[in-house]
């Protein structure tokens, strides 16, 4: 059974800097950089060659350029899922090497033949081969880097994939300027910049194949495990997983929205720039601006939005991208348009790295290749549709002029189509945001305000295979009893379980417990008390909880962060947000997967106690404030909290807890090696 608990992240400081220190990943990054650079160069060269072959016919040239885009995308519609299955079933390294050699041969042949038929045929075949290379690469990355560096790896490889586009544009421009000199130097007659660019692209794939061949660390793939399932069963399994996973559904919905917007920009950018009375140079700048923004989003986005969950960032970034696309459609100034395109690209980059990281973390290795392939296929299908219909829509809308007071504004079909694409992107982004269901009762604006105040902390739980459960509640509510019953129930199922408590779960904690709960201690400053509990919790997490989670165990703790928020916050009338911030810092924002609150009137719990400690001796008003705070905490995040009436029989409470815990998909690694 796989651990499908929510996708969470660990503290990410310094991770991005160290991921390239992994030799195997560094080699893969180098291969990806060269092949991506060559691929962008090939795209520019292919469209330029198509325009040359059109012979000066404007309409024919536009159709020819559109044909290059469509031919590059068509294979994914029919072969994408099949390519993913092959990536899952065959030796990934050999598959990638063969694919690179085939792409080398195909792109090398295009300038020699030099006609429309072979331009489209070779491009179609090269893109078909790429469909097999890409899922194999995506499925390989999580095997080459530790899980806690996976997001950094995705940032780096996406930067390599898209950050090389401006470089390719610069190189292509230089080739155009220096074409005569290069052709003369190499004795190439009638050679164009497009031809030279295609040669460079071909040899980039040859070099890439050599790097991949030397990368012995790439695992063969799940097929080497000896599982024997039919080709059709593997394919159906991938589609079934995608359709049943709310996370993947949310990602697919979001990607569709993002590429509706992207397709509109790609298909209409040249016309849009022309409407701004600018030429090819401006189009090149706009092209570079998109990928500059994308690179900024990939590299800086996860750092800037580190305090937010990836699910929230993914959906919110799509909405933001749609908003800026609408603004772009309304702008009639080239400088402002370029500025907006950079921001639009940045939010797209944040969405990309968030989405790919969630896929890498939550999709099993045996399904990862076909899942990436399915999403890539769907994205390309959407791009084909948008590239095909957006010019038709723009042409049908035509040009319209509006007068506002003494201002006259003229918008053509390209601007209108971008405007409506932006609306669609916003709607799809909102739908994706809701589909992911990340903390539904807490607004994004509330998180934004908390982050600005420095109170949110990392809202993600870290890369772990274990499950973390906390028991909370007032005095005499039966937390210890239920924690022990749950531990016994889990161990009866051969599940490794660690039971602890706060304060007192460690040797240091035992000493702090004496200070904090002994009546002889007397009055302690509320702030000092909060800091002492945080100190106990920091050491507890560091020395016991996190190591157990990393071993894949179920960890049960009797009290955790919410106790401090309730007792030292509401009880002592301190700021609950300040107390919570201290505990989040102390624990590196490690949150339980499930918190069980045993609730009852304070009077009932206090009446059960015979020998009261320092906290139990507080007034009924104090304990009522504690109870109210627990209720507010649980109401704010109902998916993570289970509130139970502690006045019910012990057996009923235990049964309800077991039913709720059984819904947590506990990884196989948490089970004892007993042959069960």
- Please write the tens of the pLDDT for every residue from 237-276: 556 666 666 667 777 777 777 777 767 776 666 567 666 7
Residues 221 and 236 placed together within one structural domain of the fold: no
Q: Exposed/middle/buried for 675, CB within 10 Å: 0-12, 13-18, 19+?
A: exposed
Nearby residues of 53 by Cβ (< 8 Å), 6 or more positions away:
64, 114, 115, 116, 119
Question: In angstroms, rounded to a whole number, what is the distance separating the alpha carbons of residues 364 and 3?
Answer: 10
For 325-337, write each residue's pLDDT tens digit: 888 888 877 788 8
Residue 447 lies in a domain: no
Residue 451 lies in a domain: no
Residues 414 and 428 placed together within one structural domain of the fold: yes
Residue 377 lies in a domain: yes
The neighbouring-strand residues paired with 671 are 495
CA distances from 143 to 92, 96, 221 (A): 12, 15, 10
Residue 320 lies in a domain: yes
Nearby residues of 406 by Cβ (< 8 Å), 6 or more positions away:
none
For residues 321-349, average pLDDT: 83
Q: Which residue has the higher pLDDT, 256 or 455?
A: 256
Nearby residues of 408 by Cβ (< 8 Å), 6 or more positions away:
401, 402
Residues 584 and 498: beta-carbon distance below 8 Å: no
Final residue in a domain of this structure, among 228, 258, 277: 228
Q: Find the CATH number of the domain harbouring 474.
A: 3.40.50.300
The neighbouring-strand residues paired with 498 are 555
For 467-507, write each residue's pLDDT tens digit: 899 999 988 889 999 999 999 999 999 899 999 999 988 99
**Percent of the residues in the chain that have a pLDDT greater than 90, as a whole number:** 13
CA distances from 70 to 123, 160, 396, 480, 563 (A): 10, 24, 21, 64, 59
Beta strand extents in 351-458 (DSSP E only): 400-404, 407-411
The 8-class DSSP code of residue 439 comes to: S
Residues 140 and 281 placed together within one structural domain of the fold: no
For 428-449, write each residue's pLDDT tens digit: 888 777 766 555 555 666 666 6
Query: What average pLDDT does the structure give for the chain?
Result: 76
For 194-247, write each residue's pLDDT tens digit: 778 888 888 888 988 888 888 877 766 654 444 444 444 544 555 666 666 666
Final residue in a domain of this structure, among 188, 205, 228: 228
DSSP assignment of 555-583, as one string? EEEES-HHHHIIIIIIITT--HHHHHHHH
pLDDT score of 159 more than 60? yes
Q: Find the CATH number of the domain harbouring 282.
A: 1.20.1250.20
**What predicted TM-score, i.e. pTM, was given to this entire model?**
0.56
Residues 271 and 358 placed together within one structural domain of the fold: yes
Question: In angstroms, rounded to a whole number, what is the distance separating the alpha carbons of residues 318 and 422?
Answer: 10
pLDDT score of 44 more than 90? no
Number of independent structural domains in the chain: 3
For residues 308-334, average pLDDT: 80
Residue 292 lies in a domain: yes
Final residue in a domain of this structure, among 212, 228, 244: 228
Residue 10 lies in a domain: no
pLDDT score of 298 more than 50? yes
Residue 461 lies in a domain: no
Which residue segment(s) compose the domain that 271 sits in? 231-438
Residues 32 and 155 placed together within one structural domain of the fold: yes
Residues 297 and 212 placed together within one structural domain of the fold: no
pLDDT of residue 570: 82
User: Any idea what the Cα angle at residue 352 is, between residues 351 and 353, rounded to 5°?
Assistant: 95
Q: Would you put residue 665 in left (φ > 0), alpha (ψ -120 to 50) or beta? A: beta
Residues 203 and 296 placed together within one structural domain of the fold: no
Question: In angstroms, rounded to a whole number, what is the distance separating the alpha carbons of residues 667 and 1?
Answer: 5
Residue 298 lies in a domain: yes
Q: Two tokens at 475?
A: 């005095």
The 8-class DSSP code of residue 541 comes to: I
Residues 304 and 175 placed together within one structural domain of the fold: no
Residues 205 and 248 placed together within one structural domain of the fold: no
pLDDT of residue 10: 37
Question: In angstroms, rounded to a whole number, what is the distance separating the alpha carbons of residues 36 and 42?
Answer: 10
Beta strand extents in 478-616 (DSSP E only): 497-501, 554-558, 594-599
pLDDT score of 12 more than 60? no
Q: Which of 10-19, 223-232, 664-673 has the highest mean pLDDT?
A: 664-673
Residues 286 and 201 placed together within one structural domain of the fold: no
pLDDT score of 24 more than 50? yes
Please report which confidence band the pLDDT of residue 11 belongs to, taking 50, 70 and 90 as the band edges: very low
Residues 174 and 289 placed together within one structural domain of the fold: no
Residues 256 and 149 placed together within one structural domain of the fold: no
Q: Two tokens at 100?
A: 């690179």
pLDDT of residue 388: 64
Of the candidates 642, 607, 311, which has an alpha carbon nearest to the alpha carbon of residue 472?
642
Nearby residues of 244 by Cβ (< 8 Å), 6 or more positions away:
none
């Amino acid at each position: 059974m796989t651990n499908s608990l929510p996708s969470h992240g660990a503290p990410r400081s310094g991770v991005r800097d160290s991921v390239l220190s992994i030799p195997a990943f560094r080699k893969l990054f180098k291969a990806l950089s060269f092949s991506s650079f060559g691929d962008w160069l090939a795209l520019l060269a292919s469209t330029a060659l198509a325009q040359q072959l059109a012979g000066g016919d404007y309409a024919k040239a536009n159709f020819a350029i559109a044909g290059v885009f469509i031919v590059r995308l068509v294979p994914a519609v029919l072969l994408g899922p099949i390519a993913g299955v092959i990536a899952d079933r065959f030796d990934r390294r050999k598959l990638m090497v063969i694919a690179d050699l085939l792409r080398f041969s195909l792109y090398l042949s295009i300038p020699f033949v030099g006609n429309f038929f072979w331009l489209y045929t070779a491009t179609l075949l090269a893109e078909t081969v790429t469909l097999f290379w890409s899922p194999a690469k995506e499925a390989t990355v999580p095997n080459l880097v530790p899980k806690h560096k996976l997001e950094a790896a995705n940032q780096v490889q996406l930067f390599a994939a898209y950050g090389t586009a401006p470089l390719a544009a610069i190189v292509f421009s230089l080739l155009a300027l220096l074409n005569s000199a290069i052709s003369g130097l190499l004795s190439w007659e009638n050679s164009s910049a497009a031809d030279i660019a295609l040669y460079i692209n071909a040899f980039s794939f040859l070099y890439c194949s050599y790097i991949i061949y030397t990368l012995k660390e790439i695992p063969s793939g799940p097929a080497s495990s000896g599982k024997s399932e039919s080709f059709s069963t593997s394919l159906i399994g991938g589609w079934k997983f995608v359709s049943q996973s709310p996370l993947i559904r949310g990602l697919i919905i979001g990607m569709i929205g993002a590429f509706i917007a992207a397709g509109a920009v790609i298909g209409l950018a040249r016309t849009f720039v022309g409407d701004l009375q600018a030429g090819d140079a401006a189009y090149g700048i706009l092209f570079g601006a998109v990928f500059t923004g994308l690179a900024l989003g990939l590299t800086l986005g996860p750092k800037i939005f580190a305090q937010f969950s990836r699910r929230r960032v993914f959906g919110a970034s799509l909405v933001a991208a749609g908003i800026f696309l609408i603004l772009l459609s309304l702008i009639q100034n080239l400088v402002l348009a370029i500025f907006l395109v950079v921001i639009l690209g940045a939010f797209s980059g944040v969405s990309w790295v968030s989405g790919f990281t969630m896929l890498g973390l939550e999709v099993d290795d045996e399904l990862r290749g076909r899942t990436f392939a399915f999403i890539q296929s769907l994205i390309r299908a959407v791009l084909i549709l948008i590239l095909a219909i957006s010019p038709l829509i723009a042409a049908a809308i035509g040009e319209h002029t509006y007068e506002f007071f003494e201002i006259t504004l003229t918008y053509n079909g390209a601007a209108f189509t971008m405007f409506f694409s932006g609306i669609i992107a916003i709607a799809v982004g909102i739908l994706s945001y809701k589909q992911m269901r990340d903390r539904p009762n807490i607004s994004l604006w509330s998180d934004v305000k908390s982050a600005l105040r420095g109170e949110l902390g990392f809202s993600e739980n870290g890369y772990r295979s274990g499950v973390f459960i906390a028991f909370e509640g007032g005095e005499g509510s039966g937390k210890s009893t239920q924690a022990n019953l749950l531990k016994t129930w889990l161990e009866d199922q051969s599940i490794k379980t660690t039971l602890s408590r706060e304060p007192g779960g460690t040797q240091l904690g035992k000493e702090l417990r004496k200070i904090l709960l002994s009546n002889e201690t007397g009055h302690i400053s509320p702030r000092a008390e909060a800091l002492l509990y945080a100190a106990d919790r920091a050491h507890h997490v560091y020395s016991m909880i996190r190591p157990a989670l990393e071993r894949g165990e179920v960890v049960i703790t009797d009290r955790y962060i919410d106790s401090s928020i309730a007792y030292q916050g509401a009880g002592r009338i301190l700021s609950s947000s300040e107390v919570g911030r201290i505990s989040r810092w102390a624990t590196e924002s490690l949150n339980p997967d499930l918190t069980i609150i045993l609730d009852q009137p304070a009077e009932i719990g206090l009446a059960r106690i015979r020998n009261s400690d320092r906290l139990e001796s507080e007034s009924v008003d104090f304990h009522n404030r504690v109870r109210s705070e627990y209720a507010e905490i649980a109401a704010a995040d109902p998916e993570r909290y289970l509130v139970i009436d502690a006045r019910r029989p012990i057996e009923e409470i235990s049964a309800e807890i077991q039913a709720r815990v059984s819904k947590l998909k506990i990884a196989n690694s948490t089970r004892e090696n007993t042959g069960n």
